[in-house]
Chain A
Amino acid sequence: MNDTLVFHFEVDGEDFTSAGQASVQIKKNLRQLGMSPEVIRRVSIAMYEGEINMVIHAGGGHATVTIEEGYIEIKLEDKGPGIKDIEMAMMEGYSTAPDNVRSLGFGAGMGLPNMKRYTDFMTIESEVGAGTTVTMRVNYA
Chain B
Amino acid sequence: MKISRMQELLSAQLLVGEDSLEREVHSACGCDLMSDVLAYVKDQAVLLTGLINPQVIRTAVMMDMICIVFVRSKKPTEEMLELARESGIALFSTDKRLYEACGLLYANGLGGKTE
Contact = CB atoms under 8 A, between A and B. Distances in A.
Q: Which bracket fits the contact residues of A?
A: 20 to 34
A9 B2 CA distance: 38
A17 B38 contact: no
Contact of B55 (A105, A108, A117): A105
A16 B56 CA distance: 12
Contacts of B59: 48, 105
A105 B58 contact: no
Given A17-B79, A23-B62, A37-B64, A110 B36 contact: yes
Secondary structure call for the B interface: helix
A45 interface: yes
Given A41-B62, A105-B51, A49 B38 contact: yes
Contacts of A105: 32-35, 51, 53, 55-56, 59
B16 interface: no
Interface string B60-75: 0111100000000000
Contacts of B87: 24
A55 to B, nearest CB: 10
* Residue of A110, A113, A114 ringed by the most chain B CB atoms within 10 A: A110
A81 to B, nearest CB: 21
Q: Chain B contact residues (Cβ within 8 angstroms of A): what range?
A: 20 to 34
A17 B79 CA distance: 10
A19 B38 contact: no
A54 to B, nearest CB: 14
A33 interface: no
Contacts of A16: 53, 55
Interface of A: 16-20, 23-24, 27, 37, 41, 44-45, 48-49, 52, 104-111, 113-114, 117
Interface of B: 32-36, 38-39, 51, 53-56, 58-59, 61-64, 79, 87
Closest 3 CB pairs of A and B: A105-B34, A110-B35, A20-B58
